[in-house]
Amino acid sequence: MQERIRQMLAEQTWAVVGATQNEDKFGYKILMRLRSGGYETYAVNPTYKEIEGAPCYENLKALPVVPACIDMVVPPKRAYPFIDEAADLGIKYIWFQPGTFDDDVIQYAEKKGLLPVYHHCVLVDLGKIGK
């Protein structure tokens, strides 16, 4: 898992599924941390038009570029359509934040050909590399 984390954090284009305008939520904190760390980062949440002045997209297919990595900040039951989109777009990596996955979601992502990270928090791992 550590090698996959290293590979993901080396990728520069990310989408945060479940991004939010609520500064107290991880969907906001992760989005801002990735952006401040120099990553090209896109917010995905059909509830919002923008977050902190940047566009927020309804789904992955609406993004202007295909991200290398997705960070999931939605409950497991809401993950399936995004996993399908990621597979259709040829996205390789998907990071499930703590509380956003169960065994079925992980197995589904793997069956779709994605390489998941789970039981890790991107905020913690970004801190380890100084971003």
The per-residue pLDDT for 105 is 98
Phi-psi bin for 113: left (phi > 0), alpha (psi -120 to 50), beta? left
Does residue 131 register a pLDDT over 90? no
* Residue 100 CB neighbour total at 10 angstroms: 20
- Contact between residue 105 and residue 48 where contact means Cβ atoms under 8 Å apart: no
Q: Convert 7-18 to b/e letters by CB count within 10 Å (16 or more is b).
A: ebbeeeebbbbb
* Residue 102 CB neighbour total at 10 angstroms: 15
CATH architecture for the domain at 2-100+108-128: 3-Layer(aba) Sandwich (3.40)
- Per-domain boundaries in the chain: 2-100+108-128
Instruction: Tell me the pLDDT tens digit for each residue of 47-83.
Output: 999 999 999 999 999 999 999 999 999 999 999 999 9
Instruction: Tell me the pLDDT tens digit for each residue of 75-124.
Output: 999 999 999 999 999 999 999 999 999 999 999 999 999 999 999 999 99
Q: How many CA atoms lie within 13 A of 64 on its CB side?
A: 7
Q: Whole-prediction pTM value?
A: 0.96
